[in-house]
Amino acid sequence: MKIFIDGEFYPEAEAKISVFDHGLLYGDGVFEGIRAYNNRVFKLSEHIDRLYDSAKAILLEIPYTKEELSEAVVETCRQNGMKNGYVRLVITRGPGYLGLSPDRCKKPTVIIIAALLELYPKEFYENGLAVITAPTTRTNPAALNPAIKSLNYLNNIMAKVEGSLAGVHEVIMLNSEGLVAECSGDNIFVIKNGVMRTPPIYMGALGGITRQTIVDLADQIGVPFQEQPMTRYDLFVSDEMFLTGTGAEVIPVVKVDGRSIGDGSVGEKTKQFMTAYSELTQTDGPVILSE
């Protein structure tokens, strides 16, 4: 595997960064998780735009133009001969010294890793996931806004661990008001009486690229859509539920906190979104290897 660090490609064993990098010391940085399908980098420009927004929000200046960084992502796939897989793009504050202030971090570190990804087992796409509400709430946007895809993922990790301890693969996270925000690494949608809903980003969610793709597909599928604050009650009484994320794609949920969603089977509209999404993945984004 060849890994991009600051403009050079390194074999995996030699891909190293400083122990004084504030990405490591403080989780000070931003990242993206991107997929390649069918020799194309899916939704690349959307991921690049979100990365630059995350960086801007934390006053981190990315030392490349969007065009240069996009090309570096495609080139990393090319160097690894990867036509289908996962790309992790990481920008850290860079090496500085001990101490919180990024003043002495003169040069952000740019890392691009192209690798294969472990998805949820196939049976969950066929039969649906069971999830729980995590005891840990999502970070308050006034403290650290979940809309920023920062390297500071401890909040999500703790919730994910709580899920694992309870025997589930994903967890729903509430905000500090007790309203539904998102999941540890996915956004959440419900369908009730034919209307699709997801919580607004200001509830404490990441503006998911997959979330937006599903909203864009709603017209085509013929499902009215609303962003709406939700309580756990709204989840329990929904007819269908699914989660969205770059890694998970669209995954059905059939149980929340022990309550069956709808009749406990994967929803019909959910299946349509799964199919429409997987079709779209085959045709979007810049080509990796010209044939």
Q: What are phi and psi of 50, to 5 degrees?
A: -65, -40
Q: How far apart are CA 95 and CA 103, in angstroms?
A: 11
Query: Of the ranges 14-22, 116-124, 179-187, 196-204, which one interacts with ligand PMP (CB under 6 A)?
Result: 179-187
Q: How far apart are CA 171 and CA 120, in angstroms?
A: 14
Selecting among 2, 43, 149, 160, the annotated active-site residue is 149
Counting contacts by CB under 6 A, is residue 209 touching ligand PMP?
yes
Amino acid at 131: V
C-beta separation of 185 from 161 below 8 A: no
Residue 92 or 187: the one with the smaller Cβ distance to ligand PMP is 187
Provide the angle, in degrees to the nearest 10, between the axes of the packed helices 209-221 and 44-57: 130
Residue 34 or 105: the one with the smaller Cβ distance to ligand PMP is 34
Residue listed under structure tokens 């980098």: 41
The nearest distance, CB 207 to ligand PMP, in angstroms, is: 8
Query: Of the ranges 14-22, 106-114, 209-217, 266-274, which one interacts with ligand PMP (CB under 6 A)?
Result: 209-217
Annotation says 149 is catalytic: yes
Counting contacts by CB under 6 A, is residue 245 touching ligand PMP?
yes
Counting contacts by CB under 6 A, is residue 204 touching ligand PMP?
no
Amino acid at 165: L
Counting contacts by CB under 6 A, is residue 170 touching ligand PMP?
no
Residue of 10, 15, 18, 33 interacting with ligand PMP (CB under 6 A)? 33
Counting contacts by CB under 6 A, is residue 198 touching ligand PMP?
no
Q: Give the number of other Cβ atoms within 10 Å of residue 195's Cβ.
A: 14
Q: How far apart are CA 168 and CA 162, in angstroms?
A: 9
Size of the site for ligand PMP (CB under 6 A): 15
Counting contacts by CB under 6 A, is residue 206 touching ligand PMP?
yes
| Cβ-Cβ contacts under 8 Å for 123 (sequence gap 6 or more) | none
Counting contacts by CB under 6 A, is residue 187 touching ligand PMP?
yes
Active site residues per annotation? 149
Residue ranges that bind ligand PMP, judged by CB under 6 A: 33, 156, 182, 185-187, 206, 208-211, 244-247
